[in-house]
Structure 1
Amino acid sequence: MDIKDFLIDENVAMIDAMHQLDKVSKKVLFVTKENKFIASITDGDIRRWILKKGNLDAKVKDIANYNPKYLVESEKKLAKDFMKKHFIEGLPILNENKDIVSVVLLNDEEYDIKRELSIPIVIMAGGLGTRLYPYTKILPKPLIPIGEIPIVEHIINRFNKYGSNEFYLVVNHKKNMIKAYFNEIEKNYTVNYVDEDIPLGTGGGLSLLKGKINSTFILSNCDILIEDDYEKIFKFHKDNNNLITMVCSLKTIRIPYGVVEISKNGEIEEMKEKPILSFFTNTGMYIVEPKVIKELNENEFIGFPDIIEKYKRYGEKVGVYPISENNWLDMGQIDEMEEMRRRLDKDE
């Protein structure tokens, strides 16, 4: 990786900065103006901007920290301790002209933050998986293999790395196959099964957990992977006193046509050639307070987005935690499933 990968001009669009952060796989970039180091920008800076302003058209200069931390060459040996002290993952080293001569990264093997997220994880694993037919004619969607293990085990393993060891699978379609799989493998966590005898939707199945979960929990679909800091998401939820926090991913789509806007009198008002649209979409992962389970009607079919809409009408606090497009893997459709396989094979 080249040092230039960590540098970004202050006039670059925020969305491009998010893509560059994904590329370097660290959470900080160093901002330049006329090739001079002037600021830093982190994934946290971008997230706070989105939540406060909701503006996806911002530039780096609107968001960056213009009082950045750095060390000079003579202090380089202090970099690791400096980064640990200030909880930062990357630090620029400047020469006497204040030019960046190197970037020091905090190596995870040398400094590993202990993960603690001991809360229940609920995974909706009872759907028919009709979009993944014919795979789901043979296997239930949670057991479709991505590499050497099924998708639901990938999900569980990621939460388990953060300290979660209590899992609830809401099962219906081909549920005995799911139970048999987890009964046969070695694991250091507990899997509880919640039998959904009739389809109750992505929200209604939670009513079957009454009396079983009485604390904040995470709800996840069984066909997604979120590659982000779960502990940080949970902390955000608690710090903001949300009833529900929805994890949302940036999505960028290029329209492969020229788009025409027509005025009221039937004339062409504006033409855009192959425009790029950016928006946030629901990933299917949520942090949820136990009140939601307690207030659900039993055996009522309802989607979790409908539950969110209901609480919004009641004035309850429902928050959004934005992540980058690269941090959300979805296998809801066959082409997306193949992309997930390629991504996981590459990471491994």
Structure 2
Amino acid sequence: MKAVILAGGLGTRLAEETVTRPKPMVEIGGKPILWHIMKMYSAHGINDFVVCLGYKGYMIKEYFANYLMHVSNVTIDLKNGGVELHENRSEPWKITLIETGLNTQTAGRIKKILPYVGDEDFCMTYGDGLSDVDIAESIAFHRKEDRLATVTAVRLPGRFGAVEIDDTKVSGFVEKPRGESGWINGGFFVLSPQIANYLQDLDIENIPWEQAPMKGISRDGEMSAYVHDGFWQPMDTLREKQYLEDLWQSGEAPWKVWKDIR
């Protein structure tokens, strides 16, 4: 199975970082958030990726083209032009990087990469969110439900800590409780290639996946909700980036479900 990652947006709400690089290349713990997302999928046995490029997509291409140099010890022979790798610590990933347009909306990006996913179901997510969602379980759920699409439903994380009050006495504190406004789109999907039938609009490049396509699939009874009540956090602001960084530096990042030290 392949995982598609939407990595082409402008990331304007994180302009402090994205003025010089695409949002998926903003680093958490010295690694792009895109790397963290791919490690999550890899931990569940998915190592074949299709990445939708747009804004400054060449930086993502260059990162993976030089990935071995980033993660390996090397000897460089300047005189003879040779490079020798030592202790190759690369990932078992196959990555297809597709230019999907600078201003293309998410539905248009998905339509453009469908030829690269083939005839099998595939996973899809955004390049700016982390979670401890059980991806393998969501795939099994999708197959059991036998619908065209499965969306992971999550609760919106709170911005501020909450105070627990018993009558007038403070009985405790809860740091960043999840919101109580209901379930939202958590951005981790399992999809059938047949969603192409909902991407035929002539103006599809200007239409978000979250609007007409998702609404049409849902209206036709072809979308399931896989409920995830664990950790989920987008990276839309500098505050949220710092929160993710703090979690990583603490050694207790909930999304780190892989076992190796990288």
Match of 2:240 among 336, 340, 344: 336
SS at match of 1:281: strand
* Number of the residue aligned with 2:18: 136
Matches within 5 A, 1:148-227: 148-185=30-67, 186-213=90-117, 214-227=119-132
Q: Is the 8 A contact 2:25 2:33 kept in 1?
A: yes
Match of 1:302 among 197, 207, 211: 207
Amino acid at match of 1:242: R
Q: Is the 8 A contact 2:48 2:94 kept in 1?
A: yes
Q: Is the 8 A contact 2:5 2:126 kept in 1?
A: yes
Cα distance, 1:167 vs structure 2: 0.3
In structure 2, what is the Cα distance between the partners aligned to 1:311 and 1:212?
22
Amino acid at match of 1:194: I
Gapped regions of structure 2 (runs ≥ 5)? 68-89, 162-178, 254-262
RMSD: 2.1
Structure possessing the higher radius of gyration over alpha carbons: 1
In structure 2, what is the Cα distance between the partners aligned to 1:320 and 1:279?
13
Q: Is the 8 A contact 1:207 1:294 kept in 2?
A: no
- How many residue pairs match? The answer is 209
Runs (4 or more) in structure 1 with deviation over 6 Å come to none
Cα distance, 1:147 vs structure 2: 0.5
Residues 136-181 of structure 1, C-alpha deviations (whole Å, 9 max, x = no match): 0111111100002110000001111111111011001101111000
Closer, same or farther in 2 for the Cα pair 1:254/1:331, shift >3 Å? closer
Closer, same or farther in 2 for the Cα pair 1:219/1:286, shift >3 Å? same
Gapped regions of structure 1 (runs ≥ 5)? 1-118, 257-275
Amino acid at match of 2:218: K
Amino acid at match of 1:150: P
* Number of the residue aligned with 2:195: 292
SS at match of 2:109: helix
Cα distance, 1:254 vs structure 2: 9.2
TM-score using structure 1 length: 0.56
Residues 275-295 of structure 1, C-alpha deviations (whole Å, 9 max, x = no match): x83421211221111111355
In structure 1, what is the Cα distance between the partners aligned to 2:121 and 2:184?
23
Cα distance, 1:240 vs structure 2: 0.9
In structure 2, what is the Cα distance between the partners aligned to 1:277 and 1:316?
26
Residues 250-304 of structure 1, C-alpha deviations (whole Å, 9 max, x = no match): 2365999xxxxxxxxxxxxxxxxxxx83421211221111111355237632212
* 1:120 to 2:26 alignment: no
In structure 2, what is the Cα distance between the partners aligned to 1:143 and 1:294?
32
Q: Is the 8 A contact 2:50 2:98 kept in 1?
A: yes
Amino acid at match of 1:345: Q
